Structures are given as structure tokens and as C-alpha cells.
Structure 1
């Protein structure tokens, strides 16, 4: 069975990222980490979409572009 990612994650622009590690340090779930000299979501399922990584990034290399929507339930 193919394992597909079906959730939205903040995007890291590797061309802009300076690998300072601030995002990984502030992440409350340790979803972010360093691998092969790049910041990545090493544990994507742990991401809670808190946007702290986007807020702390000094180069604005992280973007959290997702919208939370609601639906009316049928009664």
C-alpha cells in the first residue's frame, strides 16, 4: 500500500532558510529537525499547525498557508 501524505504542512523555502534552528527549537512537538544540512519536517504527523515556526523564522523562509474551514452538520 502506498503511504501518501494527506495533510497540509508549513512550507520551508530551502533557498531562503539559513538553517539557524530557531524553528526546531520553538516547535512544541519536535516535528522539525535538521537532516543533511536542511531543516525538514522529520515527524510531520506531530505538527499541530501552531505557526510558531513561521513566526520565529528570521528570514521568513517558512510559510503556513492553509485555511481551516467548518461545515454545518445535518441534524
Structure 2
């Protein structure tokens, strides 16, 4: 299992399980993750989460797009 907020792995029987009214199951490794999720925060915006670490991992970046040449118009 993985924490629903920080994506950290959880051993079986650890953490908290929250079942929402629509049947969605959320797993939390600790109260820090649970409180942040209830406040509507996204895990990828926090440096300490596994999700953020995987997004910020050094590696090849996609090439930047070249700007289109500006077109000049002449008035006749």
C-alpha cells in the first residue's frame, strides 16, 4: 500500500485507512499526511513527499520549444 498523500510505502497493518462516503479508500502513514489531505493540499507541492522527490529527480529534461519567428507586415 502507499500513502494517499506522500506516496510513501506502508507495511501491512500500519497507518490509517479512511473510507469516504463515495467508497473511495485513502491510506495515510501518519497524522501529518492525513491533516494535509483533509485541508485539500497536494502532496506534489511539498518537498518532503515521495511524489515531489520523484518529480524533482535530476535527469534529462525535454527540449525547449523554439519561439516562432515574428511575422512582419507591410502596409501598402
**What TM-score, normalized to structure 2?**
0.32
If each structure's strand is expressed as a fraction of its own residues, which one has the higher value?
Answer: 1
Alignment TM-score, normalising by the size of structure 1: 0.32
Which structure exhibits the higher relative contact order, with contacts defined as CA atoms closer than 8 Å and separated by 6 or more residues?
1
Larger Rg: 2
Structure showing the higher helix proportion among its residues = 2
